[in-house]
Amino acid sequence: MSGSLSRAAAALLRWGRGAGGGGLRGPGVRRAGSGGGGGSSAEQLDALVKKDKVVVFLKGTPEQPQCGFSNAVVQILRLHGVRNYAAYNVLDDPQLRQGIKDYSNWPTIPQVYLNGEFVGGCDILLQMHQNGDLVEELKKLGIRSALLDEKKDQDSK
């Protein structure tokens, strides 16, 4: 990870620990099962990533991420006010963990899907957050970023 990207991720992680002190689970965040018994075929994974507008495969849960990169993804979604998404804990199912890597041809977790399309991992989502692309992608899904409301509030002061 580049120096500035690493610093930004660290800042997000610090922000997340200090903000509100509560759990990360917001209304609408669903802890999804591991994909329905007996392996993770491409068809099963295809159904999972297309089931919801925003789908995240992470280590741990949104309430208790088990790695810094998964935590950063949860925090970025939280910053944008994304509350309604499916989260799959790959630590619960080794077949799901490997299957999603094979499905996306992406070697790392977390993995983020928007409207059934693979976006990337923490580094990509962070970059999209920083350059404003995430606001636009969420808008395409009918999700208004909370950062737009925050900016409007600041502009009116």
Residues 5-32 pLDDT 10s:
444 444 444 433 333 333 333 445 555 5
Q: 128 falls in which pLDDT band (50, 70, 90)?
A: very high
Q: Which residue has the higher pLDDT, 36 or 149?
A: 149
- By mean pLDDT, which of 17-26, 31-40, 95-104 is the weakest? 17-26
Domains of the chain: 42-155 (3.40.30.10)
Q: Note the pTM of the prediction, 2 decimals.
A: 0.76
Pairing of strands 111-114, 54-58: antiparallel
